[in-house]
């Protein structure tokens, strides 16, 4: 539209020029008709030539306008494409920033979890160190007590033998009292001469006692613990004095296996016996050490620190469930399943034993009536 208006204006200007020239020519016709004819032709030619030039310029300007329109359209398309790419880049940048933020949060949470675990294991280590120190102290006290008791028994026996004018080297067990009525008969003593360190001359004897009533049990300082260890560590005879190294050896053995079955009358050690015969009502009286020994029997000794820190005895062990085990630090699902299965088996056995005891009590109450 703009180009057509320009062309109309050009034509109108040309027509106006022609009209003025025609008027001028008409005015001058009267004066010089012959001389003005060639000038009019010349002017007309010039005007036509100018019109042609203007038309050429107009066509060229139209072509340039068309080219500029094409360039404008292409630039608009390019701008739209760049704008879409810019939006995509912004979206990617926002997504990367969100992912980076999430990764930082996860890393911080992981670091906090590691710190908590480090503090937890540090507390476990410190408690285990304290327990080791306490056990070592008890070991030293036990060794000193045994040494003192042995020395006191030896000195007392020597005094008694010296008062009776009997050789102090008689093979007599100081912790084994005998029945004097039964030992008067069927007793054979054979005395052998030997040397003892610290004396110029002394004798060593051995005793062989026969009969039905000549057997005795050795008394202990530690009640049942000494009885359980008496099979593997017999009390040495006076002719073979016990050295501190021997006492220290057996004291270490006692610390290595502290988990004794205090509720069973047999003399077997706790670690040598199976748990199937004791996992009933006795579990209610278990200590933390007994529960740890059960873990060793089950092959879960790696969780002993967690059970030790939480002081899990028999009653607490039976109350454990999945959430409590997980809170204690047992994250392995299969290990939790094994422990829960064991607890279920023990509970079922306890229930059977209770029913059996109730049945026996009813039978005992009914029996006097009949």
The model's pLDDT over 126-155, given as tens digits with 9 standing for 90+, comes to 999 999 999 999 999 999 988 988 888 888
> At residue 180, what are phi and psi to the nearest 5 degrees?
-70, -30
Q: Would residue 186 be called left, alpha or beta, if left means φ above 0 and alpha means ψ between -120 and 50 degrees?
A: left
H-run or E-run covering 243: none
Given this model, what pLDDT does residue 171 score? 41
CA 286 to chain centre: 27
H-run or E-run covering 204: strand 202-209
Q: How confident is the model at residue 95 (pLDDT cuts 50, 70, 90)?
A: very high
Average pLDDT over residues 56-84: 92
The residue among 208, 168, 161, 171 whose CA lies nearest residue 187 is: 208
Given this model, what pLDDT does residue 165 score? 54
Query: Do residues 307 and 288 lie in contact, with contact meaning Cβ atoms separated by under 8 Å?
Result: yes
CA distance 196 to 238: 10
Average pLDDT over residues 280-309: 87
Q: Model's pTM, two decimal places?
A: 0.29
**Per-residue pLDDT for 7 more than 80?**
no
Question: In sequence order, what are the residues at sequence separation of 6 or more whose Cβ sits closer than 8 angstroms to the Cβ of residue 339?
Answer: 298, 300, 320, 325, 330
Geometric angle at alpha carbon 263, from 260 and 266, rounded to 5°:
75
| CATH code matching the domain that covers 259-370, chosen among 2.30.29.30, 1.10.220.70, 2.40.128.30, 1.10.150.50 | 1.10.150.50
**Per-residue pLDDT for 177 more than 70?**
no
Query: Between the CA of residue 32 and those of 26, 35, 267, what are the distances in Å?
Result: 10, 6, 163
Given this model, what pLDDT does residue 366 score? 73
Least confident of 7-21, 33-47, 264-278, 282-296: 264-278
Average pLDDT over residues 222-233: 41
The residue among 298, 293, 345 whose CA lies nearest residue 307 is: 293
């Amino acid at each position: 539209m703009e180009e057509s208006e320009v062309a109309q204006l050009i034509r109108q200007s040309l027509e106006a020029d022609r009209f003025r020239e025609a008027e001028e020519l008409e005015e001058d016709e009267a004066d010089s008709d012959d001389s003005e004819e060639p000038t009019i032709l010349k002017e007309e030619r010039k005007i036509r030539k100018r019109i042609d030039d203007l038309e050429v310029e107009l066509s060229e300007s139209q072509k340039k306008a068309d080219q500029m329109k094409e360039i404008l359209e292409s630039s608009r398309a390019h701008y739209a494409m760049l704008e879409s790419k810019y939006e995509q880049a912004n979206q990617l940048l926002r997504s990367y920033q969100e992912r980076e933020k999430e990764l930082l949060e996860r890393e911080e949470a992981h670091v906090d979890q590691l710190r908590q675990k480090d503090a937890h294991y540090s507390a476990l280590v410190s408690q285990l160190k304290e327990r080791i120190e306490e056990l070592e102290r008890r070991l030293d006290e036990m060794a000193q007590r045994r040494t003192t008791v042995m020395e006191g028994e030896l000195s007392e026996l020597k005094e008694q033998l010296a008062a009776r004018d009997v050789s102090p080297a008689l093979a007599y067990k100081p912790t084994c009292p005998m029945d004097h009525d039964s030992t008067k008969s069927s007793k054979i003593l054979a005395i052998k001469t030997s040397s003892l360190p610290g004396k110029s001359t002394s004798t060593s004897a051995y005793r062989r006692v026969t009969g039905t009533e000549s057997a005795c049990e050795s008394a202990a300082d530690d009640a049942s613990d000494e009885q359980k260890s008496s099979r593997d560590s017999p009390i040495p005879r006076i002719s073979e004095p016990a050295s501190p190294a021997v006492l220290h050896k057996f004291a270490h053995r006692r610390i290595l296996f502290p988990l004794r079955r205090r509720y069973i009358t047999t003399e077997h050690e706790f670690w040598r016996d199976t748990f199937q015969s004791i996992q009933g009502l006795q579990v209610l009286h278990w200590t933390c050490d007994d529960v740890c020994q059960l873990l060793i029997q089950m092959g879960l000794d790696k969780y002993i620190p967690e059970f030790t820190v939480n002081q899990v005895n028999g009653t607490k062990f039976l109350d454990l469930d999945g959430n409590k085990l997980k809170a204690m630090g047992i994250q392995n699902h299969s290990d939790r399943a094994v422990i829960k299965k064991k607890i279920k088996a023990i509970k079922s056995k306890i229930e059977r034993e209770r029913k059996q005891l109730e049945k026996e009590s009813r039978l005992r109450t009914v029996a006097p009536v009949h």
